[in-house]
Amino acid sequence: MATRIIYTGRNTNIKYQLLDQGAPKDLSNLSKIDLIFTSSVKVSGTIGTTTPLDFSTIPTELTLKFSAITIPSGSYPSVKLVVYDADNPNGLIWGEIALVVRDNPYTDA
């Protein structure tokens, strides 16, 4: 999987499809998704919300919408994706994604 770049304070929406046996997974039964960057940096989204994680608008897409939150700049090659539903109330580690967070280079002076 390719590493995606997020700029702090910018609308860098990134879309993912979670696959189950090669087919897009319907996310409408999920209650929560966590992205765990490090032991101290975590982003959570719940059903019905559209920021910072949106898995409600299009039930087969997970969209990261990080413009309104601050994630420390750095390289995160193994961000853990944890999904929660009625069968997995303690969370199921679905996989990992690679992200790089950079400070916004285009600030107004």
Among candidate residues 107, 93, 68, 96, the one with its CA nearest the CA of residue 4: 96
Is residue 75 scored above 80 in pLDDT? yes
For the stretch 11-69, pLDDT in tens is 889 999 999 999 999 999 999 999 999 999 999 999 999 999 999 999 999 999 998 88
Per-residue pLDDT band for 1 (boundaries 50, 70, 90) equals low
State the average pLDDT over residues 72-93.
Answer: 96
Among candidate residues 100, 52, 92, 48, the one with its CA nearest the CA of residue 73: 100
Q: Are 44 and 33 in contact (CB under 8 A)?
A: yes
pLDDT of residue 74: 95
State the average pLDDT over residues 73-84.
Answer: 97
pLDDT of residue 67: 86
pLDDT of residue 107: 64
Tokens of 52: 């910072």
Determine how β-strand 32-36 pairs with β-strand 74-85.
Answer: antiparallel
pLDDT of residue 2: 84
Determine how β-strand 4-7 pairs with β-strand 88-102.
Answer: parallel
